[in-house]
Amino acid sequence: MKGIKVFVISDSVGETGEQVAKAVLSQFRPNYEETVIRRFPYTRTEEGLTKIIHYASVKGAMVIYTLVKNEMRTLAATLCTEQGVHGIDVLGPVIGAMDNILDEAPLEKPGIMHQLDEDYFKKIEAIEFAVKYDDGRDPRGLLQADIVLIGVSRTSKTPLSQYLAHQRFKVANVPLVPEVDPPKELFQVPKEKCIGLVISPEKLNFIRQERLLALGLNNDALYAQHSRIEEELQYFNRIVEQIGCQVIDVTNKAVEETANRIIRHLHEQKQ
């Protein structure tokens, strides 16, 4: 399988360019296999832009840029052409079309979308909430959360919590371990807000072995043994049956895909 590197250059945080890159890459690599996406945010000088595109040339990466200033977009296009880099201007064509329709010059002010407005504060609040109530640290957060994720170790609870937090959801997560009773607050959470994350024993075994090796430990520890994994998954099934919550199989699913399923589930429950 051919690998691909994508550099996202932005004069703001680069979120728009990264989402465009992921949306397109998912059509070729649904699980983002052999892909690298790297953001270069707050690129607002010609010198910085020149260095990044040269680096992209050296690394054989394509470039997606979201730059609001016309001279910076022009420079990016010129540099990409000169250095043989595949460059994609995401905002330029839309700004040009909007300019023609409105007959107004754009402000060309980077970061307007991320000014300190109410929506920005909601996002920061959700991110801080996810950090504070990660991994069952404080069960009091479960009753304040928009979403509560439960699952055995290594089922992407923390990455999902952070991803959903960036979508303005307050998320808490609780690891399920047979030797530890879940907090009583978990059973007080409305079941439509609670999501169980399950994974195949084979995939979980692989992930845990890789985790142990990364920590410099023996990969045949109890944590990664099939018997232990089966025990934990059986315990998980008993808890989710008791709660009556939605369960999502995260085996071979990207965090974005699982998050979108959770968001759809919440919308369906509200309707």
Would the annotation count 78 as a binding residue?
no
Question: Residue 153 annotated as binding?
Answer: yes
As a whole number of angstroms, the longest Cα–Cα distance in the chain is: 68
Q: Rounded CA gap, 259 and 266, in Å? A: 11
Asked whether residue 151 is marked as a ligand-binding residue, the answer is yes
Q: What are phi and psi of 37, to 5 degrees?
A: -120, 125
E strand segments, the chain: 4-10, 35-40, 62-66, 87-89, 147-151, 171-175, 194-198, 246-249
| Contact of 150 with 186, CB cutoff 8 Å | yes
137 marked as binding residue:
no
With CA atoms as reference, report the closest residue to 46 among 13, 11, 86, 21: 11
Give dist(CA 65, CA 17) in Å, integer.
Answer: 7
196 - beta bridge partners? 150, 247
d(CA 174, CA 111) in angstroms, rounded, equals: 35
Is 156 annotated as belonging to a binding site? yes
Q: Is 90 annotated among the ligand-binding residues?
A: no
Annotated binding residues for ADP, written as ranges, equal 151-158
